[in-house]
A = this chain, B = another copy of it.
Amino acid sequence: MSYISSLRCLLCGREYKPTEVIYTCPRCGHNGILEVNYNYEVIKKVFTKESLENNKNFFMWRYLPLLPIDNPSLIGPLNVGWTPLYEAKRMMDYLGVNNLWIKDDGRNPTASLKDRASAIAVVKAQELGIATLTCASTGNAASSLAGASASLGLKNFIFVPRTAPKAKIAQLLVFGATVFAINGTYDQAFDLSIEASENFGWYNRNTAYNPYMVEGKKTVALEIAEQMNFDVPDYVFVSVGDGCIISGVHKGFYDLFNLGFVNKIPKLVAVQAEGCKPIVDAVNGDGVIKYVEPHTIADSISVGIPRNGKMAVRDIKESGGFGIAVSDDEILSSIKLLGSIQGIFAEPAGVTGFAGYIKAITNGVIAKNSKVVVIVTGNGLKDVDSAMKSVKSPLQIEPSLESVKCALNNICR
């Protein structure tokens, strides 16, 4: 059994046992997101820095005592987590900063951070004896769920906006999911998937509805802390859509703070696209989320109704962080910059946190010697069409040395 002590409603504060409720607070309805509380005093007895040191499981499951899993034998076979944390030496030289780290979560099984949450979802569904799962997604949550489900023989019904990038659709279909491409937005897909799961009895993985997704996503922060030898950064920059990843990052550091592994929680910086920045505006303003019609190339964070907005705003403010918005052009040029300087290829939303970091450094919002981790949330191969907008075309030549020389001369001219 897990070390969960209770599930607490974000709105009314009422607490439940995990056996009493599956998704949200029965009193508050769909907006009553439940937060997972753990019995840290008991966890401290089995989970220590020494036990971690001796743990040869280099996946997210090395943090099992901090995860909401009752039956570990139901964990899927794909290797999720323990992604690289790179000290970005060349980027530091390029930007004139001196303490920048990049966590490349595009190295997960289906090439996004969302694999961490889906790995939890498939276990929770099986624990309930449910073999069919659903979710709404801009693409990555779904492809991660479909991959994890395929590896375990679970069925999927997926709701995505018709505009989702082709690569994410291809993943879904290859993994065998039934895909509903809806003539509408992610926000509509979200509501429809809940209606469908209530109607058909499918287990629902939706972010900010299923209480356990934040718990999966927090493993990225657990890893960052351990990979930095528990000397945590001053800031963590995260791209934000629904606001579930950034709350996961907060939760990971919060867990470690409560266990005495780290002495502070980093300031969390939410980065959104200028065309879709309800959480940035709320964090920097009165704290209230105002819904917007999303307009951005970064499909994964093109979320006008951020379902986890309330929790995210609270977490960012509590950490002492802030919000920052970047243009689509800044996102595109960051794809090229991160690729050409560090050899890391990120999708638009994957690189948005990094674009925000550059803006924060450039504008003097944070000091150049701040210790910063930027999370890359998804691989560039997920959205090649957007990447191509950030670069020039190849040089078309005939297969001859003369043709090479001519092309090179044209470049130099």
Contacts and interface: CB of A to CB of B under 8 A. Distances in A.
A361 interface: no
Contact of A343 (B170, B175, B182): B175
A367 to B, nearest CB: 25
Interface string A135-164: 000000000001111111100000010100
Interface stretch (A285-293, A322-330, A389-397): A389-397
A383 to B, nearest CB: 9
A57 to B, nearest CB: 12
Interface stretch (A24-32, A82-90, A256-264): A82-90
Interface in A379-413: 379-382, 384, 387-388, 390-401, 403-404, 407, 411
Contacts of A148: 343
A345 B110 contact: yes
Contacts of A228: none
A275 interface: no
Contact of A189 (B109, B339, B399): B399
9 smallest CB-CB distances across A and B, nearest first, come from A176-B340, A151-B343, A174-B339, A381-B381, A173-B391, A179-B394, A150-B343, A181-B394, A184-B399
30 contacts: A77-B89, A77-B342, A79-B84, A90-B152, A90-B153, A109-B343, A111-B111, A146-B343, A147-B343, A147-B345, A150-B340, A150-B342, A151-B342, A151-B344, A152-B343, A166-B388, A169-B394, A170-B381, A170-B384, A170-B387, A171-B339, A171-B380, A171-B381, A176-B339, A176-B340, A180-B395, A182-B403, A183-B399, A192-B401, A379-B381
